[in-house]
Amino acid sequence: MVGRAIAAKLAELGHTVTMGTRDPQATAARREGDAYGNPSFAAWQAAQPQIQLGTFAQAAADGELLFNCTAGGGSVAALQSAAPEDLAGKTLVDVANPLDFSHGMPPSLSVCNTDSLAETIQRTFPALKVVKALNTMNANVMVNPALLAGEHSVFVSGNDAAAKAQVTALLRSFGWRAIIDLGDLSTARGSEMVLPLWLSLMGALGTPLFNFAIAR
Amino acid sequence: MVGRAIAAKLAELGHTVTMGTRDPQATAARREGDAYGNPSFAAWQAAQPQIQLGTFAQAAADGELLFNCTAGGGSVAALQSAAPEDLAGKTLVDVANPLDFSHGMPPSLSVCNTDSLAETIQRTFPALKVVKALNTMNANVMVNPALLAGEHSVFVSGNDAAAKAQVTALLRSFGWRAIIDLGDLSTARGSEMVLPLWLSLMGALGTPLFNFAIAR
């Protein structure tokens, strides 16, 4: 859902997009939608013919800027399948959350408090410039903040000021106005740790179409 | 700060208030303010003569409804100093957060993810009806939501519906309108885990006078 939403928005904005997956043939051959009512990749791609499908390695090779939209538990493995030279110096927007469903619902986090998924990725791939962003809202809100009324916020964390500026400009092109720079990448602990509250709120409000705003 | 803010608001609303502390004599004798610019208890109490100061045990005995405004690391010990019969059947509004400053700033949490301070208190004192609330904002905002513009939220978690209704009514009397019932007490994990984001936001915004709002 997240990858499709971001890929479609990037394509709409005129960017060239390659989506990566473990087994592109299997993904392309699938004809069933998923349990959430999303169509098969093939059915979705029919309306997005300009978006390429490839391996994670091909997506990393093609992209000038990378988005990590994998499940948190698979993020490091997905990036390990890329050639190191295809990661070197590139900005990675880390949209993933380290949700752990192994103990049932609601999920807990597989890493938190004194570490984060974003920091784990940055430590494992020091040549990447990791910027945490967009991980605190539903995919439809990520690429269309005007879906919700009023001003609401997207949080940005990262160690590289130029990479954060690049991501901030991209977020503006998505329609974001209230972009809050939380600080260095350790502040991604905070935005990842908001997920349990987000999940409770989805239950309490009966919809995933909401977002955090900051009242002053 | 939290205990004073809530005690003063309760007194203003006509409630009879006893504040508990480890050593009331020492607290009353102190003449220096604290490092945050707050006056000594004696100086503060001079303007709040109707508020009594006693031990934690006295506060638990006097109160029909209890507020836990201790530091998270001291909450269980404070409640253990109360007579069990003074806790039995009472609602405890748990405003504390399990902040752990032992590894420096910013603090991490001493319990999170698969447990929470609120659940720890509930397990340790099963005769209490623990309701988590007000722990996601500055003390001045807790008792005066109109300090901030627009509608912003307070989250409530608890296992006892009647206790949550009692706390919700009290929050309304404090001026709260956007009161969100997150569910049972396990949802306090989410509101406690928002603290790291709150602390980063205080740094980014340069003020503790803000709160989370929910855009729909």
Closest residue in chain A to residue B193, using alpha carbons only: A193
Q: What span, in angstroms and rounded, lies between the C-alpha atoms of A19 and B28?
A: 66
Give tens-digit pLDDT for B158-172.
999 999 999 999 999
Supply the DSSP string of B183-196, one letter for each residue. Answer: ESGGGHHHHHTTHH
Q: How high is the pLDDT of residue A191? A: 98
B180/A204 Cβ within 8 A: yes
Average the pLDDT over B32-61 and give the result: 95
pLDDT given at position B36: 85
DSSP-derived secondary structure for chain A: -HHHHHHHHHHHTT---EEEES-HHHHHH--S--TTSPPPHHHHHHT-TTSEEEEHHHHHHH-SEEEE-S-GGGHHHHHHTS-HHHHTT-EEEE----EE-TT-SSPEESS-SS--HHHHHHHH-TTSEEEEESTTS-HHHHT-GGGSSS--EEEEEES-HHHHHHHHHHHHHHT--EEEEEESGGGHHHHHTTHHHHHHHHHHHT-S--EEEEE-
Q: Which of A181, A196, A215 sits opposite B213 (nearest CB)?
A: A215
pLDDT of residue A86: 98
pLDDT at A156 exceeding the cut of 90: yes
Interface contact A191-B197, CB threshold 8 A: yes
Indicate yes or no: CB of B213 within 8 angstroms of CB of A214: yes
On average, the pLDDT of chain B sits at: 97
Place of tokens 């396990």: B186
pLDDT at B64: 98
| CB within 8 Å: A198 and B209 | no
Q: What is the pLDDT of residues B99-114, one digit of tens each?
A: 999 989 999 999 999 9
Mean pLDDT confidence for B132-155:
98
Asked whether A184 and A158 are in contact (CB, 8 A), the reply is yes
A57, A81, A165 from A85: Cα distances, Å: 11, 12, 23
Answer whether residue A209 shows pLDDT above 90.
yes
ipTM metric: 0.97
Q: Give the gap in angstroms from C-alpha A42 to the nearest C-alpha of chain B.
A: 32
Cα separation, B93 vs B95, in Å, equals 6
The partner residue sitting opposite A183, judged by closest CB among B112, B149, B203, is B203
Q: How far is B124 from chain A (nearest CA, A)?
A: 23
Mutate to test the interface with B, among A97, A197, A212, A214 (most CBs of B within 10 A): A197
Q: Is residue A188 pLDDT above 90, yes or no? A: yes
**Are residues A215 and B215, on separate chains, in Cβ contact within 8 Å?**
no
Q: Is the pLDDT of residue A98 over 90?
A: yes
Token reading at B169: 């009514």
Q: Express as a percent the part of chain B with pLDDT over 90.
A: 98
Q: Given a cut of 90, is residue B88 above it in pLDDT? A: yes
Return the pLDDT at B17: 98
Evaluate if residue B186 carries a pLDDT over 90: yes
Quote the pLDDT of residue A36. 85
CB B156 within 8 A of CB B164: yes
Where does the pLDDT of residue B20 fall: very low under 50, low under 70, confident under 90, or very high at 90 and above? Answer: very high
Interchain CB distance below 8 Å, B113 and A113: yes
